Amino acid sequence: MAGPGVTIQLPGLRQPRLSLQRWQAARSWARLIREAEALWRVDALAMHRLAAQELGSLLEEVPPSLRCRVNRWLLRFGVLTRLNP
């Protein structure tokens, strides 16, 4: 029996936590890409430039290990942008 302040780590609990973190990260990247892409719908040249810069930066920053998951979120969000695996 564990005393106060002692945490018991059960085997197998780490994997669901990692899966959840990967899911949240992929969803966050997809949402950022969707927002940058939405700037293209604004009828202003300055906004288009800002959107292009932001979208370009985001595409470079998405970790390769999350790109497939981010693409799935982009599909669900109805975004045109896709990442190369």
Question: pLDDT tens digits for the chain (85 residues)?
Answer: 444 554 555 556 678 888 889 989 999 999 988 888 887 777 777 777 888 888 889 889 999 999 999 999 989 989 888 888 7
Tokens found for residue 17: 């936590």
How large is the C-alpha radius of gyration of the chain? Answer: 18
Residue 70: CB atoms within 10 A of its CB come to 25
Phi, psi (deg, nearest 5) at residue 23 = -65, -45
Between CA 83 and CA 1 the distance in angstroms is 49
